[in-house]
Every structure is written in structure tokens, then in C-alpha cells.
Amino acid sequence: MAFVKVAELDEIGVGEGAFIERDGVSLALFNAGNGHFYACSPVCPHEDGPLAEGWLEGNAVVCPWHGYDFDLTSGACRVTPDFSVKVYPVRVSGTAVEVDLA
């Protein structure tokens, strides 16, 4: 476990995502509301769409380019088993959003 701070709690609006780079790792971070955040690899495996610009549907992010969606708890694509994204554990510590980049 190597949690590092990637954002302040109020930096990302509810329902929004942000592209983050920390310690050589790029990720898409999403605020699902109620202190709940998700993080995943930022590039859609379909045709390299920007997942941080996608939107949340429940616990999934929808890619803005062609609509493939990914479960942010497992990384599985809900359209086809051929694709998946890496997901990262996220925790809130005080006012910091921390991601385990390991």
C-alpha cells in the first residue's frame, strides 16, 4: 500500500472527473459524491479516449468518445470483456484524496 495525495477534497465537483499525474502515474479521478471517489487508468482501451472527460453512471465511467463504460470497482468494460481499465484504491484522509498507486 502506498497511498499518496492526488487532490484536495473540494477540487473535483460531484459527478466530475479530473486527469491527474503523480509519481509518474497518470490516472482519471472521479468524485461520485458523499465522499466517494474512484480512480482508474485514464486512457480508454477502445481507441484511446480520455476517460477523465467521461461521466459517471453509478459506479461506472462512460467514455466520451464512443460510450463504452467501465465498472470502477473492477475495471471491467460493461460492453465487451475484451477491454478493461486498471482501477486504483482511493481513500479520503482529512481534506485529501489519496490513491494507492502501487
Residue 87 contacts ligand FES per CB under 6 A: no
Q: Which amino acid is at 48?
A: D
List, in order, residues 6 or more apart from 89 with CB less than 8 Å away.
Answer: 1, 3, 39, 99, 100
* 46 scored as a contact of ligand FES (CB under 6 A): yes
Q: Which of 30, 37, 68, 88 binds ligand FES (CB under 6 A)?
A: 68
How many of the chain's residues bind ligand FES (CB under 6 A)?
9
Binding residues vs ligand FES (CB under 6 A): 44, 46-47, 49, 63, 65-68
